[in-house]
Structure 1
Amino acid sequence: MSKAISKTAGPIRCAIYTRKSSDEGLEQDFNSLDAQREACAAYIRSQASQGWTELAERYDDGGISGGTLERPALKRLMDDVAAGRIDIVVVYKVDRLSRSLFDFAKLVEAFEEADASFVSITQAFNTTSSMGRLTLNMLLSFAQFEREVTAERIRDKIAASKAKGMWMGGTPPLGYRPDGRSLAVVDEHAAIIRHIFTRYLAVCNVRQLETELQEQGIIAPLRTSNNGKLLGGVPFSRGTLYLILKRVTYTGRIAHGEKIYPGNHPAIIDVGTFDAVQAMLADNTQGQQRTRSDSTSLLAGRIVDSKGEPLIVTHTAKPSGRGEGGTSRYRYYVSRALAQGDSTTGIRLPAREIETLVTNRIATLFDDSIELTATAWLDLPADRYADVTERCRELAARQRQRQPEALALIEQVQVHDTRIDLVCRTSDIAAALDASTHPDAPATITLIETVRLTRSGRAMRLIQGDGQASTSVPDRSLTRLLVQARGWWTELRQGEIDISWLAAREQVSAAYITRVVRLAFLSPAVTAAILTGKQRTGVTARALTLDAPIPASWQKQASSMLPRASGR
C-alpha cells in the first residue's frame, strides 16, 4: 500500500475519477462513466474496515482522450489533491487516469508531494515498492502501446482508402463540394480554377497572375468549411495561388504522401495542363535559386586596398549542414600577395559584407534626390524633379537588391583601415537619371563610409562607426537561442517543473539552462536588434551564454549590446 493507504488515524478520503475517450453513449441514463463509478464505489465500501470513505464530489471527464492532461475534471481533482482534501484517487483502470507514461510520471510526482496515492481496482499493485512501480510502468507502457497501434491502424486505413480513390474528409479544395466518400464539382468555382491555370500558363508568373486577378476583381468565393468557418471572400494571395496550382486533386487524382492514386471524383484540370504548370513552376523556382546562389562578385576589378593594389576574388567551400554532401560557398576579396602565398599579411574581406556596405551606401545617396543633385552637380529643370525623385527611388531599391547593373556607376572601392572610399562617376549618375551634368562638374565624387577592420579568424570583419557589423543579417544561432530561452522560461514560470527536471529532459546541464534562460530578460530594443542582425559586433550566442551575466538594467544592456548611436 502507498503512504496514504497506510494511514490509520482518521478516515481515508477517497475520490473517484472516471474518464471515457468518446462521447458516444454519454446521453444514456446509465453510461460508461456511471459503470466505472459504481465499481469504484463498491471497492471503497469493501475497504471500509481500513477507514476508506467515498467523497461526494464527482470527477468525470466524458469525451476526452487520455493522451492529454488538459481535462477539466482532472484539473479539479489535482487541485484538491494539492490542497490536501484527498488521500486516495480511485480509478477503474490505470489508463483512465492517463495513457501517457510521461504524463503519468507527472501525476505520480504530484501525488507524492501531497502525501496522496491512487488505486486501480482492476490492477493490483503497490506504488511504494520497486516491484509495484515496475508493474505500473509495464501497464502504462502497454496502454501507450495500444494507443499507438490504434493510431497506426487508422493511418493504414486512410492510406488504403486513398489508394482506392476515396476522399477522406476535410475541407475540399475550391471547385469541389463533399459527396460522400468522393467530391462533386461546383461549376462556378471550377471555372475560376480553370481560369487560374490557363492564365498562369499565359503570364508565366504567380505575382503577375495575382495582380491580374485583383485588377479583374476575381476573388476567392465564399464557402463554409466542415466546422462552420467561413472561407474566401478575399483576393487570391500568392500563397493560395501556389497551393491551387500544385494541387493534384484537380486532375481527378488523390495524393497520399509521395504517392498519387486515381480518384473517384471528376477532374477539373486535364493532366497535360497540370503537368505543364508543374514544369513551369519548377523552372521558375530553379531560376530563383540560381539567382540567390549566384556567385557573381559585384566589385571584382574595382576594389583595391589603401595602396591601390587590387583585391582579387577567392572562395572556400564548407559543408552546409543541410544534408549529406551539401556545401556552401563563401566568397572573399583578398590581397593578391596573400592569395598567392607570397605574403602572410594583407586584407581578406568577406565579399557579402563589403558588397552590402557598398550597395547600402549608394542606395542612401539615391534616397535623397535633392542631395544627389547637388553632390553630382546635375543640371535639372524644375519640372523634372518629380520624375527624377521617382527614378531615384527605383534605383535605390535595385541597389539594395544588389543588382549588378545598378552599381555600374562605381569606378573604384578603396579599403582603408578606418574608412572605405566609394569613387563614383558623375556622368554615369547623370545617365542613370536621364539628366545632364554642370559644365564645371567633377568627373567623380567620393563617398566616405567610416568603418574599422576587425580580425575574425583569417578574415577581416567590417565594423561601422557605431559598432554595428556592416551587414544586417540575423545571427541564426543567436536567434534560435532567444526562442529557446523564451520557451524554457514559459515552462519554468508555470511552476510545474524546475530547472533540474528541464535539464534532464533536454539532456544538458542545469547551469546551461540558467545561462540560456537569462536571455528571456533582454530588453525589447536589444531583442529587436538581434532579430534584425543590428546588434553590436561581438554580441553572439557564445558571448551571451559564457561571458559575464547580463545586466538587469535595460539601459546597461543597450549601452553594451546596441550600436552606439542606438544605445544613447
Structure 2
Amino acid sequence: MFLGILITFAQYEQEVIAERIRDKVAAAKRRGKYCGGVPILGYDVDRDNKKLLVNPDEARTVQYIFRRFIQIGSAKKLGQKLNEQGYRTKAWTTKKGKVREGSEWNTAHIYRLLNNRIYIGEIAHKDRSYPGEHEGIIDRATWDKVKAILEDNKPVKVSMARTKMVAPLKGVIRCGHCGCAMGPTYARKNGRHYTYYICQKDSKRTVSRCPLKRIPAGDIEQAVIEQLSAVFRTPTLVAKTFFAARDIEQAERERLFKQKAQLEMELSQAREQAIELMKPGNDQPSKTEMLTTVNRQAVELSKQLTHVSERCRAYQGNSITEQDVSEAFQNVEGFWEDLFPVERNRLIRLLVDKVEIRETGIDMELRTNGLTTLIAELAGLACEVTERRASR
C-alpha cells in the first residue's frame, strides 16, 4: 500500500512538472521567444541567447522558394526543380557536435516551409501567433499570395492529381441556361484524349433539358484566350510586366552566378583534399573511407555545377526586353502553349471571375483587383518562358 501511495505521488509530481513546462513554453512564445526545435532553413540558432539569427545565403534561398511557388503553384514540381538545381534542406550541427546533412526536397519539406510563420517574424503556438524577437525574411504580401494558392489548391488537389489533363476553366465556367457550374469530363478515342465541359445540373437529370449539355474544352478555352488577348496587349500592362520581369531576371542571374562561384570553390576544395589524401606520405587510418567520401562529394558537386552552368548560359545574351514581352503578348496563343497546365490555371483563376456560356455566346467577367498580382505573375512566367526557350 505504501508503495502504491509513493507511485501515486510520483505520477502527480510528474504531471505537475509537465504542466509547468507547458505553461513556461506558452508564456515564452507569447513574448515572441524562440523555444528550440530543429533549426529551419534561413536562420542560425544563437544557443547562448536562445535567438534566431538570419542566415543571409539561406534567406535568399527561402525567398526564392516562396517566389517560385507563387509562379509554379505546385509543391511537387517545385521540389523537383529544387533538387535538379542542387538545393538541399537545412544542414546543421547538434549541441553534441553531430552534423546533420541536408537532404533532397520533398512535398512535406515544401509545405512545412511555406506554412512556417517564423518567416514573417512571428512565433506560432497552437492556433495563435505572436510577434517574434527575430527578424522576418518574407514580406506579408508574398506570404498572403502563397497562403491564397495553398488554400486554392485544397479542394482541387486530389482531382487534378488523378487526371492527365488539367482544365483551366474549372471553377469559373458556368452554364448560363441552367445557372449552375460546368465541370470537366474526359473521353478517350483511338488513343487520343478529349476534354469537355458539361452542365453539372443537367448531368444529374434523368432526362436532359439543357441545350448546351457538353461543349469541347478546346473551343471554349480558345475563345477565352482570344478575349484575354486584349487585356495582355494593353501598353501599360506590357511596360509594367517588363520592369517587373527585368528585376526578377536580374535577381535570378545574380543568384545563379553566386551559386556557380560557390560550387566551383567547393569543388576545388574537394579536389585539393583528394590530392592531399593521395600523397605517398599520407598514412591516415581512415584514408580509404575519406577518399571515397571526397570523391562522392566531388561527383555530386560536378553534377550541380554542370546544371547551374547551363542555366547561367541560358541567361547570358538572352536578357528579356520590352519587345520580347510585347511580342509574347501579341502572340498569346504561343505564350499560352509554353506554359505548364498549372501555370495556365493560375492565370485564369487570377484574372477571370466568371465565364458564362449561353446559346447566343459567351459572357466573361474579369477580376479587376487581380491586375496588380497579374503583373508579378506574368513577369515571373515571362522569365520562365525565356529560359525554357534558351535551353532548347
Of Structure 1 and Structure 2, the greater helix share is in: 2
Q: Which of the two has higher C-alpha Rg?
A: 1
Higher relative contact order (CA 8 A, sep 6+): 2
TM over 0.5: no
**TM-score (norm: length of structure 1):** 0.28
**TM-score (norm: length of structure 2):** 0.40
